[in-house]
């Protein structure tokens, strides 16, 4: 099944340094709950200076997140971004787990470049770990992915998320803390989703579904559907390509019913 992979933010000039107007620097919600309270993986691909209100809402609802993916420039960029650094600090203070976005280009990217991206994410934004995007899903790519995960662990990544965007060959889900086994449009999710048998043996907290194009009234249904399909972590958004991740999920507003 062909699906769109993770949509990365287009490169843009770095905004001038300075504090974000109204950015919450003190955590309104302290600590992390169990998997029920940490059900949402949040890729928010809009600059904090462009939409500070969205980042503030995210900070105040940090306890509902599994993790927040930081993506300043299709990765950490070439220099620290003060706005992202402030947002990352506020998220951590509120109890969220910031993860640095790293593109693996389906296993073709130089491991040294990946290591450098992780170093920058950790040094500039104090990322707890990494969101490894465009991970290959084929069985023959498993050994290389295993080496990559071991490498980023040695470099200090306490949380590793793999995003093949589809159900990968058995074995990938054992490598990381979380594996995204579906990334695609709501219409595909409701009409063409299939679940391989190996996923039944996986703890639901190790699997994630990222669904975009969800009609807002159906966002609670998307959360419940992910759980029914064995994924306790999800990220349903209403946005559409080319960047569906530019807005927050309505699921942050409250408990689904």
Q: Write out pLDDT tens, residues 156-176.
A: 999 999 999 999 999 999 999
What pLDDT does residue 46 have? 97
- The reply to whether 61 falls in a domain is yes
4, part of any domain: no
Does residue 25 belong to any structural domain of this protein? no
- Give the pLDDT of residue 1: 23
Domain that includes residue 56, residue range: 40-253
pTM value is 0.86
Does residue 29 sit within a domain? Answer: no
Q: Where are the beta strands (DSSP E) in 139-187?
A: 159-163, 178-185
The pLDDT of residue 253: 87
Q: What's the residue count for the chain?
A: 257
Whether 10 is covered by a domain: the verdict is: no
Return the biggest CA–CA distance within the chain.
51
What CATH number does the domain containing 95 carry? 3.20.20.80
Decide: helix, strand or coil at residue 131. Answer: strand
User: Which of 121, 165, 142, 151 has the alpha carbon at shortest distance from 7?
Assistant: 165
Contacts 24+ apart (CB under 8 A), 196-199: 196/167, 196/170, 198/170, 198/173, 199/167, 199/173, 199/230
* 130, part of any domain: yes
Report if residue 28 sits inside a domain: no
pLDDT digits (tens, 9 = 90+) for 181-226: 999 999 999 999 999 999 999 999 999 999 999 999 999 999 999 9
Count structural domains, the chain.
Answer: 1
Output the pLDDT for position 15: 28
Low-confidence ranges of the chain (pLDDT < 50): 1-37, 256-257
Beta-strand ranges (E) seen in the chain are 40-43, 65-70, 98-103, 129-133, 159-163, 178-185, 207-212, 233-236
Is the separation of the CB atoms in 231 and 181 below 8 Å? Answer: yes
State the pLDDT at residue 254. Answer: 65
Distance of CA 255 to the CA centre of its chain: 20
Distance CA 67, CA 50 (A): 21
Has residue 84 been placed in a domain?
Answer: yes
């Amino acid at each position: 099944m062909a699906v769109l992979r993770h949509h990365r933010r287009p490169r843009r000039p770095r905004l001038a340094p300075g504090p974000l107007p109204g950015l919450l620097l003190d955590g309104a919600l302290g600590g992390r709950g169990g998997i029920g309270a940490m059900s949402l993986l949040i890729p928010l691909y809009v600059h904090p200076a462009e939409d500070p209100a969205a980042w503030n809402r995210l900070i105040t609802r940090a306890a509902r997140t599994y993790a927040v993916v930081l993506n300043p420039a299709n990765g950490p960029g070439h220099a620290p971004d003060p706005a992202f650094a402030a947002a990352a600090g506020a998220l951590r203070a509120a109890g969220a787990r910031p993860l640095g976005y790293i593109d693996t280009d389906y296993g073709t990217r130089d491991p040294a470049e990946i290591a450098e991206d992780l170093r920058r994410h950790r040094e500039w934004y104090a990322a707890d770990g990494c969101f490894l995007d465009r991970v290959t899903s084929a069985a023959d790519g498993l050994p290389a992915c295993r080496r990559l995960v071991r490498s980023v662990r040695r470099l200090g990544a306490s949380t590793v998320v793999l995003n093949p965007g589809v159900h990968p060959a058995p074995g990938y889900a054992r490598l990381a803390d979380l594996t995204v086994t579906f990334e695609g449009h709501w219409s595909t999710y409701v009409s063409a989703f299939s679940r391989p048998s190996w996923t039944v043996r996986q703890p639901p907290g190790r699997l994630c579904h990222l669904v975009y194009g969800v009609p807002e009234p159906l966002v609670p249904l998307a959360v419940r559907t992910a759980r029914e399909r064995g994924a306790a972590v999800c990220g349903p958004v209403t946005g559409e390509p080319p960047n569906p991740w530019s807005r927050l999920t309505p699921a942050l507003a409250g408990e689904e019913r």
